[in-house]
Amino acid sequence: MPGTSRDVVFVDGVRTPFGKAGEKGIYAQTRADDLVVRCIRELLRRHPELPPEKVDEVAVAATTQTGDQGLTIGRTAALLSGLPRSVPGYAIDRMCAGAMTAVTTSASGIAFGAYDVVIAGGVEHMGHHPMGEGVDPNPRFLSEKIVDPASLVMGETAENLHDRFPHLSKERADAFAAASQAKVQAAYQAGRIQRDLVPMATRSAEQGWGLAVADEPPRPGTTVEGLASLKTPFRPHGRITAGNAAGLNDGATACLLADAETAAELGLPVKMRLVSYGFKGVEPEVMGYGPVPATERALKLAGLTIDDIGLFEINEAFAVQVLSFLDFYGLKDDDPRVNPDGGAIALGHPLAASGVRLMTQLARHFEEHPEVRYGLTTMCIGIGMGGSVIWENPHHSDYGKGAAA
């Protein structure tokens, strides 16, 4: 009934393998909308118990909403996926947190009673649409000193974080980055990440058709020694390199969300329950610090503390950004609860798509760790923001009994 608050559950999530942006990347000649359509179709294939006409909304995020990821992509992706024409859709943009916001916004509609089942996700083809393509920032940003010029360059904001927290050294950042690569390598070898992926057809005028079945960005065997010698493109003698930051990537994600009662009626699985979420702004010059106040807000709304969180999926836009979060909460750089299977430094960060990757990985960790009740997905957001979502593990013995029972 509209106006009442209902439990929102995460049913399932999938993603394409992530590719490297550019002419040599696996998706160089693949359309952005085809990437997210593939994810939506895979969700429907995996869940034949869901009648397509039961989908009430399709929310798809993209940071650069033009070309093959424009034209109100939530609606066009719904049509291209074969969903009934009665299923509406919309596009959303919150830069790196696009898919995260697609989830929280549509989940709010479920909680309110406006929807029963939604598909939410994101896509970014940075090879076709580099970050900032076609934008025209208002000159007042600089003339009135609303922001520092560096705040419009994400790598510069990460250098600023190093300035603000000198103890977060390049050596620590490189060590964290190497560990992320190692964790991704181990997860692939154990067959864990493959469960999240949907094979994606690719084409090349030179090489013909192909099939993407694994992420392209990871660099197995990365060492701290190797990272130490990389160039610092944002500042002479700086600390941000291609090795301790996420790359430029192409990829898409999508997930199914539902009202808990509807999920039970349809026989849909429940992988997580949405507990709370928070978005907060910070100084654009230190964009990467956004997850800290966002998490503080989400924890307060949930009536929880950081000690209640047993698993963390933090988007690794830059290693220093993750380290600043860990430092604030007194967590060790190598805490095993943090990004157990690695993160964006190795896997890639196709901007608006990444939020659902975090959720899909957390849902998988919940299955493997029934002793953990609450988990967090969090990320920094361009122009000085952070977003955090707290989830409850349905496999925990106290699931659904109230906060921190």
- Told to judge if 237 belongs to the known catalytic residues of this protein, a careful annotator would answer no
Catalytic option among 96, 129, 255, 365: 96
Q: Is 194 helix (H, G, I), strand (E, B) or coil?
A: helix
Output the CA torsion sign for 134, 30, 353, 84. Answer: positive
Q: How far is CA 85 from CA 44, 56, 89, 106, 379, in A?
A: 16, 11, 10, 19, 34
Q: What is the dihedral of CA 50, 56, 58, 59, to 10 degrees?
A: -130
**b or e along 288-319 (b: 16 or more beta carbons within 10 Å of the residue's beta carbon)?**
bbbbbbbbbbbbeebebeeebbbbbbbbbbbb
**DSSP collapsed to 3 states, 66-92:** CHHHCCCHHHHHHHHCCCCCCCCEEEE
- Told to judge if 380 belongs to the known catalytic residues of this protein, a careful annotator would answer yes
Q: How far is CA 65 from CA 25, 30, 124, 178, 321, in A?
A: 21, 17, 9, 33, 26
- What are the backbone dihedrals phi and psi of residue 225, each rounded to the nearest 5 degrees, phi first? -65, -40
- Told to judge if 395 belongs to the known catalytic residues of this protein, a careful annotator would answer no
Rounded CA separation 117/186 (Å)? 35
Q: What is the dihedral of CA 397, 365, 316, 256, to 10 degrees?
A: -90
**DSSP run (H or E) holding 171:** helix 170-189
**b or e along 252-265 (b: 16 or more beta carbons within 10 Å of the residue's beta carbon)?**
bbbbbbbbbebbee
CB–CB of 246/342 below 8 Å? no
- Angle subtended by helix axes 319-328 and 291-302, to nearest 10: 40
Q: Is 113 helix (H, G, I), strand (E, B) or coil?
A: coil
Catalytic option among 129, 349, 365, 396: 349
CA neighbours within 13 Å on the CB side: how many for 39?
Answer: 33
- Angle subtended by helix axes 319-328 and 154-164, to nearest 10: 40
Catalytic option among 39, 125, 255, 380: 380
Tokens 């650069």 correspond to what residue? 64
CB–CB of 32/250 below 8 Å? yes
CB–CB of 60/89 below 8 Å? yes
Q: Any idea which residues carry the catalytic annotation? A: 96, 349, 380
